[in-house]
Amino acid sequence: MASKLSSLMENRYLGWIGLAIALLAPFVSATNYSLSVMTSALLFVMLAVGLNIVVGYCGLLDLGYAAFFAIGAYTSGVLATRYDWSLLATIPVVILAAVIAGVVIGGPTLRLRSDYLAIVTLGFGEIIRITANNLEITGGPSGIFGIPGISIGGLDLSSPVAFYYTCVVAVALAVLGAARLGRSRLGRAWRFVREDEDAAEAMGIHTYKVKLAAYIAGAIWGGLAGILFGAQLTAISPQSFTFLWSALILMAVVLGGMGSTPGVVIGAIFVSVLPELLRGAADYRYFIFGVLLIVVMIFRPQGVWPTHAVERSARKRRTDDDSTVEVNQ
Amino acid sequence: MSQLIWNGLFVGSFYALVALGYSMVYGIIKLLNFAHGDIYMLGAFAGFAMLTVAGGLATSAGFVALLVVLVLAMLVTGTAGLILERVAYRPLRGAPRLSVLITAVGASFALEYGMRLVAGPNPEVYPVRLSGTTVHVLGARITLEQLALVGIAIALMAGLQYLVMGTSTGRAMRAISMDPKASLFMGINVNRVISRTFFIGSALAGAAGVMAGAYYGKIDFLMGFIIGLKAFTAAVIGGIGNIKGAMLGGLTLGMLESFGTAWLGGEWRDVFAFAFLILFLTVRPTGILGERVTERV
């Protein structure tokens, strides 16, 4: 049983299976409610995969991830409602804004001890939320409404089904991108920094640059998810970006297995869909989440779907097929 | 002007009380206890529960009742700190820093929403309010109760200073913060001293919680979140791990906020404080009184 499970975990077609499930899901149930739950789950997957770059690959604890999500949603929302940009056109601006925010926060704090980053990001999350609450251009406490849906050319993609499939494509690309990034040269440097920062530095890795790269990559993923979030809900307000969000995304990453892409995807789906299934136990769920975080860290810090499996498959492939040897520097 | 300074000192003494616990725990086991702000919240609710049970007796006895409740609430939160350390942090001693931080976030979450389960999501109104005679000192309006609260805060801090510098427990704490392993070899019961540190730090936070409840009059289950952040800011400003630094940092942050509010308006107060934290970490990460920390390989 265990070997069957681990061979399933290492299956190289896993990504395709996941994509197929996502594509076929509306054929099982396509009510507006189920579509909206599934779309939210997809956005959550995107956020969790983005946070996984920071927390899972690089080992930096970011407790204000919702801030980047908010920056993306507000940047695209303001441009779309006040200046009549189409949402697609706002993508470069959102990326730019996310990068700037990442540099402003990561720049000073990543030079310090890693646990300072955690609390500074927590403060940053609050700064962004309160700023959005106070400024006039962001609509104050009531936020922005009337954000248009996504349309490509003349094709309107704002109906629930079309938007769901748009999200499937976008999120699949995001997951694939994050996974590829994790296996790149930079990704190996991230993991090295996570395991032993001093040793990494001694081996010639510019740890500060590498950490900043992880932080910025996470910011971009978060910002792009923000665009989709605005398009889905058509209205955003500061209440959508509280610490609760950041904590839930972290929860998804930790539960699924830090650094493991399939694990994080499963974790995100679990964390976002479970509350819908447990409507009755709404009062208990955050309490349970908190206890679960402690329990997971004490008894299974690698999460339910650890990254170990993925690394072993890479080694196996190397011995099986010598023509595609990956050279590890 | 003098009103602003007084307001700053007053709020700053709350921050200092909470920052002390943060700083002590960090100084000894290098753990950012995210749940510390929630211990403050727990203190406020413990005081609230006791005052409600005491009912009319408490409202008639006023300030004296509040003092008794303050001490009891300190015992409750101190014990909560002990339990927290035993259940959540001790099993992870020696684990990677990231796991411990995540555990701390989980503990904070569990405390917040656990309290929400017990007390409900709506804010509660404190049965004993402190609002009384005002005296004018150098143009600042000061109530006698404010003075009393600042007095209590100063007394607690003086007591802590004696405990750390003058008793054997305090000597053990300082030894552990320098080198836990060597302290173990020298016959110090490290686990017990760490437990005591948690007890003391949490008790101080609980005292601050009761005082804040009595002064502001309203408490809710998320009240510890912002103050936890502020207390950390205060600890960093003063130099984290340094007890005098935490007091100084608390007062400095209180002043900064008081003047920041006057210049920018109340809605920007928190933004101002956290932006200052980021700025401070860039310019002088070791704080006003802190020494350079070198991470050992």
- The pLDDT tens digits for B120-133 are 778 888 776 665 66
Region B106-128 average pLDDT: 83
A123 and B108 in contact by Cβ < 8 A? no
Quick check: B116 contacting A, CB < 8 Å? yes
Instruction: Kindly report the nearest CA distance between residue A314 and chain B, in angstroms.
Output: 25
Taking any CB pair shorter than 8 Å as contact, residues of chain A touching chain B are 55, 59, 61, 63, 105, 108-109, 112-116, 118-120, 122-124, 126-127, 130-131, 133-134, 198, 243, 247, 250, 254, 258, 283-284, 286-287, 289-294, 297-298, 301
| Residue B80: per-residue pLDDT | 92
Measured between beta carbons, which residues in chain A are less than 8 angstroms from residue B114? 287, 290
pLDDT of residue A315: 45
Q: How far is CA A98 from CA A45, A63, A94, A95, B198, in A?
A: 19, 16, 6, 5, 39
Distance CA(A134)–CA(A130), nearest Å, equals 6
- pLDDT grade, residue A6 (50/70/90)? low
Provide the 3-class DSSP secondary structure of residue A155.
Answer: strand
| pTM score of the predicted model | 0.82
**Residue B97 contacts by C-beta under 8 Å, 6 or more apart in sequence?**
A114, A115, B30
| Residue among B114, B271, B293 minimizing CB distance to A127 | B271
Q: Which of residues 202-241 of B touch A (CB under 8 A)?
A: 225-226, 229, 232-233, 236
CA distance A78 to chain B (A): 21
Least confident of A130-134, A311-315, B81-85, B132-136: A311-315
Chain A residues near residue B91 by CB distance under 8 angstroms? 298
B49 near A CB under 8 A: no
Share of chain A above pLDDT 90, in %: 8
- CA B93 to CA A161: how far, in whole Å? 49
Contact: A287, B113; criterion CB under 8 Å:
yes
* Per-residue pLDDT reduced to its tens digit, A161-194: 788 888 888 888 888 888 888 888 888 888 888 8
Task: State the pLDDT at residue B94.
Answer: 76
**Cβ separation A290–B274 shorter than 8 A:** no
Residue B152: other Cβ atoms inside 10 A? 19
Q: Is B83 on the interface with A (CB under 8 A)?
A: no
The predicted pLDDT at position A325 comes to: 40
Interface contact flag, B95 A297, Cβ < 8 Å? yes
B103 close to A (CB below 8 A): yes
In this prediction, residues A239-253 reach a mean pLDDT of 84
- Give A-chain residues touching B266 at CB under 8 angstroms: none
CB A66 within 8 A of CB A242: yes
Q: What residue of B is the nearest CA neighbor of A122?
A: B229
Maximum Cα–Cα distance across chain B: 60
In the predicted structure, residue A310 carries a pLDDT above the cut 60: no
Q: If you average pLDDT over residues A270-285, what whole number do you get?
A: 75
Residue with structure tokens 């594509």? A23
CA distances from A263 to A9, A179, A182, A306, B178 (A): 9, 12, 14, 7, 40
Q: Tell me, what's the pLDDT at B131? A: 59
A103: closest CA of chain B, how far (Å): 13
Q: Name the residue of chain A whose CA is nearest to B96's CA.
A: A195
- Around Cβ B297, how many Cβ atoms within 10 Å? 9
Q: Is B167 left (phi over 0), alpha (psi -120 to 50) or beta?
A: beta
pLDDT for position B57: 66
Q: How far is B37 from chain A (nearest CA, A)?
A: 13
Provide, as residue numbers in chain A, all residues whose Cβ is less than 8 Å from the Cβ of B110: 287, 290-291, 293-294
Contact yes or no for A55 and B116 at CB 8 A: no
Enumerate the residues of chain A whose CB falls inside 8 A of the CB of residue B225. 243
A8-63 pLDDT, tens digit per residue, is 656 667 777 778 787 777 777 777 788 888 888 888 899 999 999 998 888 888 88
DSSP summary character for residue A55: I
Q: What is the ipTM of this complex?
A: 0.80
In the predicted model, what is the mean pLDDT of chain B?
A: 82
Cross-chain Cβ contact A298/B282 below 8 Å = no
* CA–CA dist A66, A132 (Å, integer): 13
Instruction: Give me B284's structure tokens.
Output: 């002088």
| Nearest neighbour of A63 by CB, restricted to B95, B105, B226 | B105
Residue A5 has pLDDT above 70, yes or no: no
pLDDT tens digits for range B9-59: 888 888 888 888 888 888 888 888 888 989 999 999 998 888 888 766 666
Contacts of A115 in chain B (CB under 8 A): 30, 32, 97, 101
pLDDT digits 0-9 by tens, A290-300: 888 888 888 87
Distance from CA of A214 to the nearest CA of B (A): 16
CB contact under 8 A, B107 and A290: yes
Q: How many CB pairs under 8 A join A and B?
A: 124
